[in-house]
Amino acid sequence: MIRILDKETLTNGIKHLKEADEDLLLILEQNNDSLNLFQRQKGFVGLINLIIEQQLSVASAKAIFGRVQQNITPFNAHNFYKLSENKLRNAGLSKQKIEYCKGIARAVINKDLNFNYLNTLPDEKVVKCLTRFKGVGDWTANCYLLACLSRADAWPSTDLGIQVSIQRLKKLRMKPNKLTTEKIADPWKPFRSIAALLLWSTYD
């Protein structure tokens, strides 16, 4: 089942999280049940944006992506692939991320990656499809689910902000790893996207 994070799902999800976890209930009450959504454009633009965001601050990633956009009109796989490495480096992209992004562009051009088809797949298959490509790991694939496809149960369990927030929330001695983070989040299904947004709000 594909569950989209719309107004009704947000309402149901917040209710579920309040009942499932007293710590999340406290955060929701402090925030008056309000959330800052994490949104990126669907398709090629959104995925490139997320790759650029890997291991960078929000401000740095936004600045780099803005400079990349200035060099590509319209912003699509063909035009990205044609852009020289020098221009991408001057925009602030590392050699490694240029390789990743060019690989995604090439996959789109060669029809190995079809975003319209991807949009129709259930969450697990979207993650499986995206992580076939170099530079797209669990974090990027799950953030694509959440930010680009507005899926309600995306869970980027390797995210540093989420792990640190869970450590604080649950008063853990050590920062939880991926497995522990997923175990803690199990009662939050099928609304883990909302939980992720809440945890990010306590980390920022």
Q: Which helix (H) or strand (E) holds 95?
A: helix 95-109
Does the pTM surpass 0.85? The reply is yes
**Among residues 192, 168, 144, 161, which one has the least CA distance to residue 57?**
161
pLDDT digits (tens, 9 = 90+) for 138-180: 999 999 999 999 999 999 999 999 999 999 999 999 999 999 9
pLDDT digits (tens, 9 = 90+) for 116-136: 999 999 999 999 999 999 999
Contact between residue 45 and residue 65 where contact means Cβ atoms under 8 Å apart: no
> Residue type for 23, please?
D
Mean pLDDT of 25-43: 92
Q: Where are the domains of the chain?
A: 7-34+154-203, 43-148
**Among residues 157, 156, 107, which one has the least CA distance to residue 133?**
107
Question: How confident is the prediction for the chain on average, in pLDDT?
Answer: 96
**Among residues 163, 182, 183, which one has the least CA distance to residue 172?**
163
Q: Does domain 43-148 have CATH number 1.10.340.30?
A: yes
Right CATH number for 7-34+154-203 from 1.10.1670.40, 2.60.40.1930, 1.10.1740.10, 1.10.275.10? 1.10.1670.40
Contacts of residues 70-77 at CB distance under 8 Å and 24 or more positions apart, as own/partner, are 75/44, 75/45, 76/44, 77/44, 77/104, 77/105, 77/106, 77/108, 77/109
